[in-house]
Amino acid sequence: MSALLKDPLLKLRPLRESDIDAIMAVERRCYEHPWTPGIFRDSLKVGYHCWGYFLDEKLIGYAVMSVAAGEAHILNICTHPDQRGQGLARRLMMRVINRAREQEVDTVFLEVRSSNRIAQGLYESLGFNEIGMRRGYYPAGQGREDAILFAKVL
């Protein structure tokens, strides 16, 4: 386990609207086509499961998951580029998967860019299986990029 995950200043808590500026700072560093502040605000308003990891009060990772009709959909998971490779995304995934179990979810779904091999490896190591593809799902620098659809039966 990395030193980061043992750091006493690392805290996990539900996200709040007051975190949106910090979320956007990370989102813009990580994505060419980031979510908008309004998408995060709406996710909080409708009661999606929104969790963030904070290191000494600085947001370094977050996850957003919707739950309905026995299914969960991980909509966004992101870690600050400076904190990658230390197990934070795995911990975030485990947190939302456990929340899905608490909500008596049968299956958890997510999409990932076809080019994001690191994330695909993480999801597979957590028991997700590739179940399909969404053609042209993500905006890309030159057109659109396919998404691979993953599912995990709980």
48 is catalytic: no
- Rounded to an integer, what distance in angstroms lies between the CA atom of residue 121 and that of residue 64? 20
| Paired strand residues for 10 | 55
Residue 116 known to bind ligand: yes
Distance of CA 4 to the CA centre of its chain: 19
Integer angstrom CA distances of residue 59 from 15, 64, 111, 123: 10, 14, 23, 22
Quick check: 87 and 4 in contact, CB under 8 A?
yes
Quick check: 92 and 126 in contact, CB under 8 A?
no
Q: Which of 123, 130, 137, 145 is catalytic?
A: 123
Q: Which of 48, 111, 138, 145 is catalytic?
A: 111
- Rounded to an integer, what distance in angstroms lies between the CA atom of residue 138 and that of residue 154? 27
123 is catalytic: yes
Rounded to 10 deg, the angle between the 88-102 and 117-125 helix axes is 50
By three-state DSSP, how is residue 86 classified? coil
Q: What are the catalytic residues?
A: 111, 123
Annotated binding site for acetyl-CoA: 116
Annotated binding site: 116
